[in-house]
A and B are shown apart, each in its own frame.
Chain A
């Protein structure tokens, strides 16, 4: 492939836009980890479920535009996440990691089993087009990706506002810092934990829905994005939601640039290599996390 600057720049911009979306997915994972030290292994299937949620709602209501369906799916994700918390996580919240990992993994298995039975493995896509726009004179960008990137930045800003400017957000941060102390001063910790889990799932669902507007998807795709979320989460520091956004950007740049030098099938090998490298050199992530 000829290495001209226009190609490089368009790969880079593409990668950056996807990076924001992946970053939001990782924010969901890392928010849960930060608040309750639980790694949500149902993250991937939940992303896939959101993709199908957007697809189904769109077809059911006969919409021609996926964004209202995306909004509805995102709102539905909050109670789903809280339900998962009460059903699977609450009993093992203070148990060793083994228990919470296996508990969330069992949710993963159940979701995958149901989705496999209902939807099968066939790929779907959301049939709509926003066309594309041209930036800087000669770089063509699909509008759907630009919208997805902007939406991702918006929800990250909303999360920041929620965590730092509202009472409930302050409760969440209090529970993150010290759950016992938060309980002593009257924070309803169980509700806050459930809400945090729901928020994490909400972010995952939002990212999943955005990805569905860009790429075709199958029920098995969730696993891929889950893996990306782990890599991003570790890059940005597990437990640091805003770091995730930057981690997503780094991953996006890598994904944008790798195809210029190697075949795309090498991307998972490189991503994983980076993941292990960061864990070895700086386990708290580039931007600091919760130790």
Chain B
């Protein structure tokens, strides 16, 4: 008796990106967008370069946290090495500009693509497995990619690559370049928030949330979980890759230890947990709050040496006592806020 093979529903259709439920309050997307734009515009108002550089670091953290939230918060899978996408995108973009003489735009695109491709490869391989295996792999992947690049001669091996500063002439000189790359980063941060909102409110996002709550039940309800998880991982990788390309273009040099700082991945996790995993506004606030706290700790005479310990203690307190984070806690404590806060 031959049995017809059931055709799998495609896990990722454009139609899945339409909002799953009608009647969303406009503040759901407007609030996070306003926060990001407010942070982005602040240094333009003061006109001080130092504010711009501070905000560059902060917005980089916003992109990392908001992107990480798609796999960590929505889907419930921890990626401990998310910075690998930042580093890989940075290396690919930098290689294109410095060695191949391509433009920044191509570098941004290629950085995002390379990161997405790596995420896809890891995803189809590993995301068939449930639970904690994925976390183990992400810890290893950062080290492995770093070790690989240290041995990879076209990328300069352990010394990395440097850029001739004359490249910046095409973008109006170093000063104008610094300003321009800042605008691009603000645009990327806005894109990250819009993407996070679109995923969160879509049918695809609903599938991810159901995976987080109960993967077996999600599968029974027709979510093709390995594919959905893989795409969630890809979506969470692309923007960090683009930011990496942007960051190292601006930096003028790239080397392995700078490109794969493990602490950046960990800080992104703390930011997501602090603001509220699985929400749109949470990671934005978490990133801003964490950066402010970090600046305070690093300038404090007594606490600067144990900054990591304080972050760790903070993470433990959140995990043990307010696992929903700030926004999640507000939503639970004040049910009326649920319409507005997402």
**B216 CB-CB contact with A under 8 Å:** no
A-side contacts of B151, CB under 8 Å:
263, 265-266, 269
**B106 CB-CB contact with A under 8 Å:** no
**A227 CB-CB contact with B under 8 Å:** yes
Residue with the highest number of chain A CB atoms closer than 10 Å, among B147, B315, B316 = B316
Other A-B pairs, 19, CB within 8 Å; known A103-B320, A114-B306: A39-B136, A92-B320, A97-B135, A99-B319, A102-B78, A102-B269, A106-B312, A106-B315, A107-B312, A109-B315, A110-B316, A116-B305, A230-B139, A266-B151, A268-B147, A272-B141, A275-B136, A280-B125, A283-B129
Taking a contact as CB atoms closer than 8 A, the residue among B136, B144, B150, B307 that contacts A273 in the complex is B144
B72 lies within 8 A of A265 (CB): no
Provide 9 A-B residue pairs closer than 8 Å at the C-beta atoms, listed in order of the A residue. A96-B212, A98-B76, A101-B132, A102-B319, A107-B316, A117-B305, A266-B147, A272-B144, A279-B133
The chain A residue sitting closest to B315, CB to CB, is A106
**B311 CB-CB contact with A under 8 Å:** yes
Give Cα distance in the complex from A283 to B72, angstroms: 22
B140 lies within 8 A of A275 (CB): yes
B316 lies within 8 A of A103 (CB): yes
B-side contacts of A39, CB under 8 Å:
132, 135-136
| Chief secondary structure at chain B's binding surface | helix
A1-43: CB near B (< 8 Å → 1, else 0) gives 0000000000000000000000000000000000001010100
A102 lies within 8 A of B273 (CB): yes
A276 lies within 8 A of B306 (CB): no
| Chief secondary structure at chain A's binding surface | helix
**B179 CB-CB contact with A under 8 Å:** no
**B313 CB-CB contact with A under 8 Å:** yes
A residues engaging B (CB < 8 A)?
Answer: 37, 39, 41, 88, 91-92, 95-99, 101-103, 105-110, 112-114, 116-117, 223, 227, 230-231, 234, 263, 265-266, 268-269, 272-273, 275-276, 279-280, 283
The chain B residue sitting closest to A33, CB to CB, is B132
The chain B residue sitting closest to A99, CB to CB, is B319
Given contacts A102-B78, A106-B319, A113-B307, contact A265 B147 (CB under 8 A): yes
B-side contacts of A91, CB under 8 Å:
320
B-side contacts of A266, CB under 8 Å:
147, 151
**B310 CB-CB contact with A under 8 Å:** yes
B126 lies within 8 A of A88 (CB): no
Given contacts A272-B140, A275-B140, contact A98 B316 (CB under 8 A): no
